[in-house]
């Protein structure tokens, strides 16, 4: 069955639901660790691992959601993300997508971001990864001041990027899309508990396609319980770069209704 969310007119109509969110997205202050890793001034946490953010994205979010294998037979594929941050997750996903996609396939990547960073900070944060440079330049050019969010950017003929500003607790509920895969990449649950609360995890579940998936770097017990309570089957696996565990999972199928039989 075709996913009508991928029709251009429906994508644009979806974006108009968030135009009143502009004032909810103050610019994100960024400081820099000694090894030039960006740190949030709002949550006092790094945007990505100090070891290798690109490799972390590939391991946790791409591989954790069964990608790129799940793209093979998908005419359309929707990824949603909590926390756009530096854009690293999108760029590494886009790079992998370009490498394996067929000519007729479409990918839409939707990210919910309350505190977007500036283009200069984004460029500095992405500088370590030469393989992302051409794609990163295309993204950074669209993030120049002043910010124009919400945005739906057609990054190439087969890749769309939708950035929705505002607090995810409100904006995910208003989103009319379904994700085949979720990247749960908010700052640490200890630093940003609202990004992992039971209400938002329920909204993530409710905006997941049948047999859709999620992956996240954290294995915090409360996050795991919130995801399970929302309806996901949750699995723990070895984390990235010495981290003991991370979480991934699938949406459980709806129980069959036998009442009409």
pLDDT in tens, 158-212: 999 999 999 999 999 999 999 999 999 988 899 999 999 999 999 999 999 999 9
Scan for tokens 């005419």, then name that residue.
75
Could you tell me if 43 and 191 are in contact, meaning their C-beta atoms sit under 8 angstroms apart?
yes
Residues 6+ positions from 17 with CB-CB distance below 8 Å? 174, 175, 176
At 42 the pLDDT is 82
Domains of the chain, residue spans: 6-251
Q: Give the residue from 21, 182, 202 showing the smallest Cα distance to 113.
A: 21
At 254 the pLDDT is 74
At 11 the pLDDT is 54
pTM for the structure as a whole: 0.88
CATH superfamily for 6-251 is Vaccinia Virus protein VP39 (3.40.50.150)
At 6 the pLDDT is 54
Residues 6+ positions from 74 with CB-CB distance below 8 Å? 105, 180
Taking the C-alpha atoms of residue 256 and residue 122, their distance in angstroms, rounded to an integer, is: 47
At 46 the pLDDT is 83
Residues of the chain with pLDDT under 50: 1-5, 20-24, 261
Taking the C-alpha atoms of residue 175 and residue 166, their distance in angstroms, rounded to an integer, is: 12
At 256 the pLDDT is 63
């Amino acid at each position: 069955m075709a996913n009508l969310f991928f029709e251009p007119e429906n994508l644009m109509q979806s974006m108009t639901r968030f135009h009143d969110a502009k004032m909810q997205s103050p610019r994100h202050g960024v400081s820099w660790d000694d090894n030039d890793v960006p740190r949030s001034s709002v949550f006092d946490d790094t945007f990505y691992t100090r070891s290798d953010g690109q490799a972390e994205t590939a391991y946790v979010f791409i591989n954790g959601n069964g990608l790129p294998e799940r793209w093979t037979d998908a005419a359309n594929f929707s990824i949603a993300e909590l926390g756009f941050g530096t854009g690293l997750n999108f760029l590494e996903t886009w790079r992998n997508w370009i490498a394996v996609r067929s000519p007729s396939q479409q990918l839409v990547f939707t990210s919910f971001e309350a505190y977007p960073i500036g283009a200069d900070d984004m460029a500095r944060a992405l500088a370590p990864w030469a393989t992302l440079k051409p794609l990163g330049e295309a993204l950074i050019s669209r993030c120049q001041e002043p910010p124009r969010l919400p945005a739906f950017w057609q990054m190439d003929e087969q890749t769309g990027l939708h950035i929705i500003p505002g607090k995810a607790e409100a904006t995910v509920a208003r989103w009319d899309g379904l994700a085949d895969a979720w990247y749960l990449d908010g700052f640490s649950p200890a630093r940003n508990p609202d990004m992992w609360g039971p209400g938002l995890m329920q909204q993530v579940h409710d905006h997941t396609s049948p047999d859709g998936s999620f992956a996240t770097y954290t294995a915090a017990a409360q996050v795991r319980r919130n995801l399970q309570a929302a309806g996901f089957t949750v699995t723990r696996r070895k984390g990235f770069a010495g981290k003991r565990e991370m979480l991934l999972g699938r949406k459980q199928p709806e129980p069959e209704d036998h009442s009409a039989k």
